[in-house]
A and B are shown apart, each in its own frame.
Chain A
Amino acid sequence: MNAPLLELRRLSVAYETAAGPVRALREVDMTVRKGDIVGIVGESGSGKSTMVSAIMTLLPPKAKVGGQLLFNGTDLNGLSAEERRALRGNGIATISQDPFTAFNPVVPIGKQLVEFQHWRRDLDAAKRWRRAEEMLARCGLSDPALRMRQYPHQLSGGMRQRIAIAAVLLTDPLLLIADEPTTALDATTEMQIIDLLLEARSMVDGAILFVSHDMGLVGTFCDRVVVLYAGELLEIAPVDASFSALRHPYSQALLACDPLHVPLGATTFPTISGHVPDPLAVQRGCAFAERCDRRMPDCAVQVPDLVRFSEGAVARCHRLSA
């Protein structure tokens, strides 16, 4: 077992607001090793984006961070602004959700891709240009020489997302974060990008975090899934296309809601009744207790502990700890 690349130890993020403290992330424990492809799933307000921002060290200054966030053994929370900047785009890189705003609209693609390689001091401008062009070709763009001279607005969404992936791969990241990379794309283009990301797995000498709200995509792309709910980690489980290893009632309910998994002939769609708890409310029991159809008296009063089933399989539920 290789050493962990990214380790979250009781990581908490809170914001002080006029109405009281908002706990956006609550004591999340997670370990990512080299070669892992981890899916992060959750509904809006679950803390996905907060977690990604924390790993990217891009949280706003007023955020109160607790716990430890270890990347390659160093605690990112203790780094100076300068050290954090050096890490971004080098050790850690992201593919954003929106390929339309990821690039500077007034600078040609080629020039931007050369700029991304500023840390490669051993290469001169011509070599960087050639390296970028080769990477575009590897990412399946037709006519890379032309693309290098074009501006972002001249390219379609799918092409821009390919270029964004090429840009990320140029930096040889240790940790690649793909934040909903296909939500802005059409179904047939989406599959092309997923195929490209699958190929990119072999080009990345590190780990990939794949943030998504689409369980189906996570099933095809990832080895493990992390389920977040209301800022809390509810489950980490190995995944395959059938999701047979999911144990937590919330994970199972979420999976059942996907129209793809609704049996044919069903007259109604499954839903999860109720709402995500108010982030201002003081948490008493399990975060999901109010909406859970398998809740017990204990659930409302006592926060369940994380139960460990095996390496890389944990869940936070009273039903499972019994």
Chain B
Amino acid sequence: MMRAVLDIQNITVRRRTGNIFARLTSGRAKEITLIEGVSLAIPAGSTLALVGESGSGKTTLAHTVVGLEPFDEGKIVVDGESGEGWNLSWYGRPWQRIRRKIGITFQDAVASLDPRMTVAASIAAPFRIHGIRGRDLRAEAAALLDQVGLARAFLDRYPHQLSGGQARRVSIARAIALKPQLLIADEPTAGLDLSVQGEVLNLLSGLRTRLGLGCLLITHNLPVARHMAERVAIMYLGRIVEAGPATAVFENPAHPYTKALLNARGGSGGKRPAALSGEVPSLAQRPLGCEFSTRCPVAQQRCRIEAPIETTIKAGHQVRCHFPSISTDSQSLWEDSRWLGGRGAVAGRKGARLAVSNIRLAGS
């Protein structure tokens, strides 16, 4: 396996809530956990899609990687350089060196460009910020625009003169300005018309191969994830509930949440399974046990008490569920999970406490 360009190890992000007055009067600060124990690795030149609904922590994780948000536990290693010692005070020399290796495009491309800076100034900003001197910045900007398929005429335009797709291209140009090894694309197709979405995705895949970029693609669009990524990680309420090779996750989803997501947008036929009931719980009231148990169609008593730990069901395919469905035949997925569920319930009644042991599953 190639060296990981990004290695996230057990990252946890917590935030205190309430204003200072509430904290003082209640005596104790309330904490919510935005991201809990997330580990991910992206080998050089490969793409990982991070999929989840809003509030699942995708964007927070991306911001943590580029240092826009501090984290409380864990370690982030970018291209072999770990952030030891500076993970709580992000600024300073070592951080700047690491930051150069990461390019990021934000969700709202138009808002991520300074409205008072021309396109040329925005694209050249990384050079100035990182103190790279002795280059013709305008020529660099023009070359970068060329790479993202925009004409030189755009150099002197301002963000308000750009369409959504053009702004997206400019933000990609800025992200690749310093020849990073990792590109983080946060919802690259959000708010774009269908006919333009394809252009941006084609541009991203082209750059990826041409520059050998590792890519963290954040999206809630499953078909996009399936086409663009080698690996997929599904997030729910700050945890990764399933991760694996794209084909494995899409063809044999093991977690009930992954299945619900696939059903929600994949089912174009007339026969569509019932929509998932309820809504994503509030982070302030994280469910006990498994986070998904409040909405899960196959939840058992055990799920509401005990949080499942990560289990490997096949090489490189992990799932965080007490009763995952493992099958090569997608038709029998649900039967499988019911069977496993039944077994779990019987074991519970006999008083054979399963403690924290996870069920050993085929192939692990």
Contact A258/B194 with A241-B270, A269-B227 known, Cβ cut-off 8 Å: yes
Chain A residue contacts of B274, Cβ below 8 A: 195
Asked if A191 contacts B266 (CB within 8 A), the reply is no
Asked if A259 contacts B223 (CB within 8 A), the reply is yes
Per-residue interface assignment for chain A, residues 139 to 177, with 1 indicating a CB less than 8 Å from any chain B CB and 0 otherwise: 000000000000000001011000000000000000000
Task: For residue A112, give the distance in angstroms from its CB to the closest CB of chain B.
Answer: 21
The number of chain A residues with a CB under 8 A from chain B is 37
Task: Give the contacts of A41-55 with B (CB-CB under 8 A).
Answer: 43-44
Contact A190/B279 with A220-B272, A257-B198 known, Cβ cut-off 8 Å: no
**Stretch in contact with the other chain, from B113-121, B199-207, B327-335:** B199-207
Binding site for A on B (CB under 8 A): 53-54, 163-164, 193-199, 201-202, 205, 220-224, 226-227, 260-261, 263-266, 268-270, 272, 274-277, 279-280
**Of B202, B268, B276, B280, which is in contact with the most chain A CB atoms at under 10 Å from its CB?**
B268
**Stretch in contact with the other chain, from A66-74, A181-189, A277-285, A293-301:** A181-189
Instruction: Give chain B's interface secondary structure class.
Output: helix
Contact A271/B198 with A186-B280, A187-B53 known, Cβ cut-off 8 Å: yes
Asked if A268 contacts B264 (CB within 8 A), the reply is no
Chain B residue contacts of A86, Cβ below 8 A: none
Chain A residue nearest to B226 in the complex (CB) = A264
Chain A residue contacts of B260, Cβ below 8 A: 188
Identify 6 residue pairs between A and B in the complex whose beta-carbon atoms are under 8 Å apart, listed by A's number.
A43-B194, A191-B272, A216-B268, A254-B194, A260-B266, A271-B202
Task: For residue B222, give the distance in angstroms from its CB to the closest CB of chain A.
Answer: 8
Chain A residue nearest to B247 in the complex (CB) = A264
Chain B residue contacts of A259, Cβ below 8 A: 197, 201, 221, 223-224, 227
A192 at the interface (CB under 8 A from B): yes
Contact A191/B194 with A186-B280, A266-B227 known, Cβ cut-off 8 Å: no
> In the complex, which of the residues B223, B275, B277, B280 contacts A260, with contact meaning CB atoms closer than 8 Å?
B223
Asked if A257 contacts B195 (CB within 8 A), the reply is yes
Asked if B275 contacts A188 (CB within 8 A), the reply is yes
A253 at the interface (CB under 8 A from B): yes
Chain B residue contacts of A257, Cβ below 8 A: 194-195, 197-198
A270 at the interface (CB under 8 A from B): yes
**Of B194, B263, B272, B279, which is in contact with the most chain A CB atoms at under 10 Å from its CB?**
B194
Chain B residue contacts of A191, Cβ below 8 A: 263-264, 272, 275-276
Task: For residue A310, give the distance in angstroms from its CB to the closest CB of chain B.
Answer: 22
Chain B residue contacts of A268, Cβ below 8 A: 198, 202, 205
> In the complex, which of the residues A188, A264, A271 contacts B196, with contact meaning CB atoms closer than 8 Å?
A271
Chain A residue contacts of B220, Cβ below 8 A: 186-187
A260 to B264, CA, bound (A): 12
A201 at the interface (CB under 8 A from B): no
A213 at the interface (CB under 8 A from B): yes
Chain B residue contacts of A240, Cβ below 8 A: 270
A195 to B275, CA, bound (A): 8
Chain B residue nearest to A243 in the complex (CB) = B268
A254-B195, A260-B268 are known contacts; what are 19 more A-B pairs with Cβ within 8 Å? A43-B195, A44-B164, A44-B193, A186-B220, A187-B220, A188-B276, A191-B263, A191-B272, A216-B265, A216-B268, A219-B268, A241-B270, A253-B195, A257-B195, A259-B201, A259-B224, A259-B227, A269-B199, A271-B199
Contact A262/B223 with A192-B276, A253-B195, A270-B198 known, Cβ cut-off 8 Å: yes
A158 to B282, CA, bound (A): 13
Task: Give the contacts of A28-64 with B (CB-CB under 8 A).
Answer: 43-44
Contact A189/B265 with A43-B194, A253-B195, A259-B221 known, Cβ cut-off 8 Å: no
Chain A residue contacts of B195, Cβ below 8 A: 43, 253-254, 257, 271-272
Per-residue interface assignment for chain A, residues 192 to 230, with 1 indicating a CB less than 8 Å from any chain B CB and 0 otherwise: 101100000000000000000101100110000000000
Contact A190/B268 with A195-B275, A259-B224 known, Cβ cut-off 8 Å: no
Chain B residue contacts of A2, Cβ below 8 A: none
Chain B residue contacts of A80, Cβ below 8 A: none
Contact A187/B280 with A260-B223, A262-B223 known, Cβ cut-off 8 Å: no
Task: For residue B278, give the distance in angstroms from its CB to the closest CB of chain A.
Answer: 9
A17 at the interface (CB under 8 A from B): no
Task: For residue B1, give the distance in angstroms from its CB to the closest CB of chain A.
Answer: 24
Chain B residue nearest to A195 in the complex (CB) = B275
A101 at the interface (CB under 8 A from B): no
**Of A186, A213, A240, A275, which is in contact with the most chain B CB atoms at under 10 Å from its CB?**
A186
Chain B residue nearest to A46 in the complex (CB) = B193
A267 at the interface (CB under 8 A from B): yes
A124 to B279, CA, bound (A): 35
Chain A residue nearest to B53 in the complex (CB) = A186
Asked if B198 contacts A158 (CB within 8 A), the reply is no
Chain A residue nearest to B269 in the complex (CB) = A241
